[in-house]
Amino acid sequence: MRMSRLTLGGGALAVPLALTTVMCGGTPPGLPGPGTVASLAAPLPAPPRPNFVVILTDDLDARTSAQLPRLETFAATGLAFSRAYVTKSLCAPSRVSLLTGQYPHNHGAVFNSTGFPDFHRSGGEASTVAVWLKRAGYRTGLVGKYLNGYPLEGRLEYIPPGWDDWAVHLTTQENSRYFNYSMNENGRIVEYRSRPEDYDTDVIARKAVDFIRRGSTDPFFLLLAPQAPHAPATYADRHGAAFADARAPRVPSFNEEDIRDKPAWVQGFPLLDRVEILKLDQLQRARLRSLLAVEDLLDDVMSALAASGQLANTYIIFTSDNGLTLGEHRLVGRKGNSYEECIRVPLQVRGPGVPAGRELSHLVLNIDLAPTLAQLAGVPIPESVDGRSLAPLLGANPPSLESWRTDFLVEAFATGVSASLRNRDYLYTELESGELEIYDMRADPYQLDSIHRKVDRASIETFSRRLEALLRCRGASCRQ
C-alpha cells in the first residue's frame, strides 16, 4: 500500500494512503463504499498442499546407510533421526505398518510368507495412507516392491485401492529381485529380463521421473520401493569397482566371543570362521554397491522435482523396512528379532520448513509415517492409527525429548509371541520360550551383556506390565 507523509509537530509520520482518503471524508479507491458488506481485506490464497516422495529401501540397516556419501549429503539438506525404529524387523509386517500407521498386532500381517494375503483378506487395504490421500485429491503412485506374497494366485492384475499409478513386482512370480522379474503396471503384466536397462532400481528411477514430469494441478504421493540392498544384492555393472575395501562393520559385538547371556536360539550359532567372514564381507560390498543405484534414483528424483518447480513444496523421506545383522552376535543376515541392528533404520526428511543439517534423537517409528503425511496434507488421521505424527518434529522448534514418546513395542511371531519393550535406556525382551533379555543401552549399546539375571524382580515386573499393555494397545492407547 502506498504511504503518505503527514507532518506532526515538525516530524514525519508514515500513514497508509487509503487512511488519508478516509480522514478527508472520501472512499479509498478499490475499497467498498458505505453500505457494502464485502471484506476490507481480500483473503490470501491457500498455500498449496505439499507433495510426498517416500523412498523405502529393503533390509538397509543404519550402519550401512552411514557409509553412503550422497545419502549423507542428502541428510544434510534436511533432518535426520538418529533413533528411528521399526516395530517388527521383517519386510511385509513393516511395510504394512508404514502404510497403515498400525502395530503388527493390530493390522494382522505378521509373517512374511503370508504378508499380502493376510492383509488383503482382512480388508486392511481399505484404510492406508494412499487411500486417505487419494480421497483428499492426491495423485498416488507406488513403484517397486509392495508386499511379500503379492499377488494372490490367479489375480496378477490386482491393484489395491488408493493407487492411481501402480508398477509393482509380482513377488510370487519373479526368479530374481534385480533382473528377470515381472511387474503389474496398471493392470498390464510386463516382463523384465537381464539387459542393463532392466535393472530394478533403474527401472524404478525412470518411472519415478516420468510420474513427476507428467505434472498435474493435484498434489502427489509417490512411494518408491527398490529391492536394494536385499540379498543377493545384485548391483549395476557401472558400480562394480566401488567399495573395493569395504567389509562388514567390525563393531564390538561382531562374531561375539561369549554368548552365554543370550537365549538358546542365538547360542546355537557357532563362531564365524574365516571363510564365512570373507563371504560376509563380499555380501556387504555387494550391498553397498547396490545402494549406489539407489543414490542415483534419489538424485534423479531431486532433479526432476527441481526441473518441474516442485522441489520446494515436496517432502522427501528416505528410510528402510528393517535392518539386519552383519555378523553381530555371530548372526549373518538375520532379522525378525529385536537386536538394534535389526530394528534401527535410517530416517531422513527434507521438505518445506524442515531445518537443514539437524539431527534429532527422539524415538520415532515406522508407524509414525502414515499419520505424518496425513497431518501435513491436512487429512484427518483415522482413530485406528497407533503411531504419532512427526509433523511437530519437522519445524524449527521441536518438542522436548521429555514430552515425546518414551517407549515403544517391538513384536515377533513364530509359533507364539515374542516381544520387546524399547525405551531410551533399556531393551527388555520376553521370548516365547520363556527366556528373557535385558540390555542397558546406555552402558552396553552393542548388547554384549544381558542383565536379566542381575536385575531385581520389581524392575522386571515393571517392564513386563508395560510390555503387556503395549501388546494390548489399539489406537490412542498406543500413543500414551
Cα 143 → chain centroid? 15
Choose the weakest-confidence range: 143-152, 212-221, 244-253, 282-291.
Answer: 212-221
Instruction: Tell me the pLDDT tens digit for each residue of 42-52.
Output: 566 666 899 99
What gap in Å lies between CA 390 and CA 393, rounded to an integer?
5
What gap in Å lies between CA 381 and CA 369, rounded to an integer?
11
User: Beta-strand (E) ranges in 124-267?
Assistant: 139-144, 165-169, 181-185, 188-192, 220-225
Locus of grid cell 563380499: 282
In one-letter notation, the amino acid at residue 74 is F
What gap in Å lies between CA 345 and CA 428, rounded to an integer?
19
Q: Is the dihedral of CA 84, 87, 90, 92 positive or negative?
A: negative
What's the pLDDT at 10?
Answer: 33
Choose the weakest-confidence range: 59-63, 176-180, 192-196, 199-203.
Answer: 176-180
Q: Answer yes or no: is pLDDT of 198 > 80.
A: yes
What's the pLDDT at 480?
Answer: 84
pTM, 2 dp: 0.89
What's the pLDDT at 194?
Answer: 95
- Phi and psi of 291, rounded to 5°? -80, -15
As annotated, the active-site residues are 91
Instruction: Tell me the pLDDT tens digit for each residue of 262-306.
Output: 999 999 999 999 999 999 999 999 999 999 999 999 999 999 999
Locus of grid cell 539387459: 195
Instruction: Tell me the pLDDT tens digit for each residue of 448-467.
Output: 999 999 999 999 999 999 99
Q: Hey, what domains does the chain have and what are their CATH numbers? A: 51-405 (3.40.720.10), 410-479 (3.30.1120)
What's the pLDDT at 46?
Answer: 62
Helix (H, G, I), strand (E, B) or coil at 377: helix
In one-letter notation, the amino acid at residue 197 is E
The percent helix, strand, coil of the chain (3-state, each to 5) is 30, 20, 50
Task: Give me the DSSP letters along 175-217.
Answer: S-SSSSEEEEETTEEEEE-SSGGG-HHHHHHHHHHHHHHH--S
Please state whether 38 falls in left (phi above 0), alpha (psi between -120 and 50) or beta. beta
Instruction: Tell me the pLDDT tens digit for each residue of 110-160.
Output: 999 899 999 999 999 999 999 999 999 999 999 999 999 999 988 999 999
Contact 119, 109 (CB under 8 A): yes
Span 385-403, mean pLDDT? 96
Locus of grid cell 520363556: 434
pLDDT band for position 215 (50/70/90)?
confident
